[in-house]
Amino acid sequence: MTTRRYRLKLATWTVVRECGAPSPRILSTPATVAELARDLLREHDDDKEHFWAIFLNAQNHYLLHTEVSVGTQSASLVHPREVLGPALREGATSVILIHNHPSGDPTPSREDLRLTRQLRDAAALLDLNLHDHIIIGNGTASWASMAERGLI
C-alpha cells in the first residue's frame, strides 16, 4: 500500500469597501508595484513563471489583479485578450504587467520585450495605458522596471 501526502493551500479573503470608494493602495512607482509583486510571488513556492495583470483607475488606485498565465521554468503563454478583456470589464484605465523569472535574473528577455510592445499597442487601441512591466527575480531582492529602462 502506497501512502500519498497532499498539501492543500487554501485561503479566503473578504474585502469590504464602501461602494464607489477607491482602494487605499496607490501604485504610482515601480517600487510599490515590485512590493505587490513580491506579495503575489509569496503565494507560489514553485519554480514556474507566473504572469499577472494589475488594473488601476484614473488616479492609479489599485482595482484588481488577475493571474493571466502559469508557465514553465522559462516561459509563459500570454495573449492580449486575457490581459485586456478583464481590464475592460473592470473599467480600468491603466494596466501594469508583472511576471517572475525563476532563474533569479530579472533582465528582460527578447520575448519579454516583444510581448510588452504587443500589449502596449493593443492597450492603446482600447484607450488603456500600459504603465509598466515589472520583472521579479525569484529568490532575490532584484527586480526590473521596463518603464524605468525606457522600454515601454
Rank 32-46, 73-87, 116-130 by mean pLDDT and report only the highest: 116-130
pTM of the model: 0.78
Q: Domain coordinates of the chain in residue numbers?
A: 30-145
What are the C-alpha distances in Å from 126 to residues 26, 85, 87, 134?
A: 23, 10, 10, 22
Name the residue among 29, 47, 66 with its Cα closest to residue 143: 29
For 121-139, how does the pLDDT look when each residue is reduced to its tens digit (9 = 90+)? 999 999 999 999 999 998 8
Residue 111 has pLDDT above 80, yes or no: yes
Model confidence at 60, pLDDT cuts 50, 70, 90, reads: confident
Superfamily of domain 30-145: Cytidine Deaminase, domain 2 (3.40.140.10)
135 - beta bridge partners? 99, 144
